[in-house]
Chains A and B, each alone.
Chain A
Amino acid sequence: MTRRAALRAAAVLAALAAAGSVPAEAHLVQSGLGPFYDGVAHFAVSADDLLAALAVALLGGLHGPRAGRWALFSLAGAWLAGGLAGLPRETVASWPLATALSLIVVGGLVAWNPRLPAPAVGALALAVGALHGYLNGSLSAGGAFGFRGLLGTAVSAFVVVALAAALAVSLKREWTRIAVRVAGSWIAAIGLLMAAWSLR
């Protein structure tokens, strides 16, 4: 088996494993591998966190490598910093409207595709990272998430943004960039629905 075929088979197996996963019954995901991997697993099953990171990555990637780097380091750094700020909370913070707004704004910008300076992309990534990180950090109040769990979520966000932004940067053909913008419009639409639910 060539290296490429092995990688492909590994990707299929990983996807099938994710598809066949069982529901997490605990308040937080218990991976059984320790707090760091609990954080990784938590990020992987929290679609709102995943979508926010993906939206930031696509926005950065559409604006080129420099903006992609701003998005990558700003989001991951702010995620960790926000999480540290949320750790001392005594109750779990749940701000569904703010989470939804982050998807609407960043997804909408991906769909609209205005030319933004790289630091502006970085600032958006900073805000999104701080918000989602803070909410992740506050989970400590309900499930002993801890610093290592928080680190797991931040590292996961870093990896997802790095991969997705790199993919978006590599896309040069017009239709592939349009596909990215369509993905952004889907994320914004999901955010709109989440906002409505949170206001209901």
Chain B
Amino acid sequence: MSVRFCGLELAHELINGSGTFDAIAARRAFGEELETGFPFAAYVSKTITLAPREGNPPPRLWEAPAGLVNSIGLPNKGLDAYLEQDLPALAALTRAAGLRAEESDDGRVPHMVPLITNVMGSTAEEFSRLVEACDVREEIAAVELNVSCPNVKTGLDIGADPRMLGEVVRDVRERTGKPLIVKLTPNTADVAACAQAAEQGGADAVSLINSLRATALAPLGTARPHRPWLGGGTGGLSGPAVRTVALAQVAAVAEQVAIPVVGMGGVQSAAHARDLLDVGATLVAIGTESFRDPRAGARIAGELRTNAAG
């Protein structure tokens, strides 16, 4: 019951959304059980940038109706420290997870857990440097581009403008033979046009949706009422609140491109995952639901298997 995705063989359809599961932190919190029950068929890193980033000042979270607005600001150690410290640790962890799955043989074919590194640049040159650095690392099975970053000249998100997105993807495509996934932004007029631009630029897959731009004001009784609550000013909405938006965008994209689609947005159960698969997704990513239950990916994968068998 394995799934083919960009030349990779995955144990099931469930992976994580970038930036929603820190496997190194989870190993500290849960110990070896994380490896024996690793919840994802592939692991996507949080976004890596060229320079280290501390992230946005707190507060970074706002609980919304059936959802969460976050303004984290992509904290990461920067490319060099990621490659030197985190990548070997993640590779060891995902390799162990694959081997453990083999040990706990339940009739399934053993699968490694491929490692996908997510990168973000603010220019084509930055993207190129990031992707070239990933290309030479055998631990990395695929690269995902986070294109939800403002262009320094226009202020528009690179991924929101099909022409600009196509140029970046074309440029990056020449730098790596590894599968290239473009994480589309939902904050655009025509997400299907952006997906087509990514495909024409040479992307092997697209993933969506990223969080929807959102904000919240501080309530009465706090120190700065009516002012933006989040330290970063605005943030992104995720969780069940965005599920129907995600379904519409994934459907629109899957109709327009031939490359595989990774669908995500508010998935909490096998039924939600099934919906995304039914409208054309090849894989489904779990994001905010992992915050409520870190084992959600494995739970939903199991439910899908059971439903298919039944």
The answer to whether A and B interact is no
Show the binding face of A for B, using Cβ within 8 Å: none
